[in-house]
Amino acid sequence: MKILVTGGAGYIGSFVVKTLLDKNHQVTVLDNLKRGHRELVDQRAELIQADITIEKDIENVFNQNFFDAVMHFAGLISVGESQEKPELYYQNNVVGSKNLFEKAISIGKINKFIFSSSAAVYGNPVKIPIPEDHPKNPISEYGKNKLAVEEVLINLNQELGTNSVVLRYFNAAGALLDASLGEWHEPETHIIPKIIKSAIKGTVFKLFGNDYSTKDGTCIRDYIHVLDLVGAHVSALEKLEKNTGAFYYNVGTGVGYSNKEVIEMVKKISGKDFEVEIASRRPGDSDKLVADPTKIIQELGFVPKYSDLETIVKTAWAWHNR
């Protein structure tokens, strides 16, 4: 298949691009490179530098290329920043996505979409683990953005028969087993790379909040290794080759680790100690987010292979030490 991967110069997108190429798909990456990295894009892929919020950019992409499917990763990803810059996030994540889908359908005649969503659509859960039919009550602008784009895809399915798979990520983490590809954000907002950087540099790690309603007072998250997450995308693409409809799945393990447990694992793997400073909570952070992965296991045969905390931290540690 010929696949357009938006945001393919980012963390998860770059992993998906590599895997799709390894499976003999033809891949074109669309990225504005404002927060993605050209160096992360597999050299076998074509790279188009364009912005999903600029209509002319996207019109040109679909006028000049044919694709069988779109995998949509492009978007701003920081929960904290989304609270500070809600209009920036809405324009990029929601308006940009609408522009992408509209041009893909009207010009590109595409009817297969896979969207990178988030557990942030659930907000503070009333049930743990969280099933897909859990009430959607996002508490961050980022989560609201993701839910809005999900609703666009549902409407497109109902109105135009467009087919889609929404994957609600829990916490993506880790790197390739040979440390040749990993997580690289500027600025970095994800907890595991930030802890690792403190271990490498011997600097203070700032922990946001220790007064949550959890076993040790710190947030609990369900971590999914990026390689397992990539596997979910491949399965989603196969789903759309066989079935029509608008589908949605949690991508998690059903196991949660607290921030303190993650800190201790980094100390164990690195053999390094560092100071942890307790800071005030960040707005928009939920107490506990743990997936119920039953649906994706049953319908897509999803089996995480690398998502134990030790493997996640070991691979991330090796990557960041490069």
Query: What digits encode the pLDDT tens for the residues 217-273?
Result: 999 999 999 999 999 999 999 999 999 999 999 999 999 999 999 999 999 999 999
Over residues 28-53, mean pLDDT: 97
Q: 258: which 2 tokens?
A: 């607290």
- Residue 138 · residue 94 · CB < 8 Å: no
Q: Name the band, by pLDDT with cuts 50, 70 and 90, for residue 314.
A: very high
Q: Name the band, by pLDDT with cuts 50, 70 and 90, for residue 192.
A: very high
* Count of H-run helices and E-run strands, the chain: 11, 14
Q: What is the DSSP string of 228-276?
A: HHHHHHHHHHHHHHH--SEEEEEES-S--EEHHHHHHHHHHHH-----E
- Residue 146 · residue 121 · CB < 8 Å: yes
Q: What is the predicted pLDDT for the residue at 102?
A: 98
Q: What is the predicted pLDDT for the residue at 17?
A: 98
Helix 141-160 to helix 96-106 angle, to the nearest 10 degrees?
A: 20
Q: Indicate if the pLDDT at residue 160 is higher than 80.
A: yes
Active site residues: 142
Domain boundaries, the chain: 2-172+222-251, 174-221+254-289+306-320
Multiple choice CATH, 174-221+254-289+306-320, 3.40.50.300, 2.60.34.30, 1.10.1040.10, 3.90.25.10: 3.90.25.10
Residue range 2-172+222-251, CATH number: 3.40.50.720
3-state secondary structure 17-54: HHHHHHCCCEEEEEECCCCCCHHHCCCCCEEEECCCCC
Query: What digits encode the pLDDT tens for the residues 101-148?
Result: 999 999 999 999 999 999 999 998 999 999 999 999 999 999 999 999
Q: What is the predicted pLDDT for the residue at 283?
A: 76
Q: What is the predicted pLDDT for the residue at 79?
A: 86
Q: Name the band, by pLDDT with cuts 50, 70 and 90, for residue 322.
A: confident
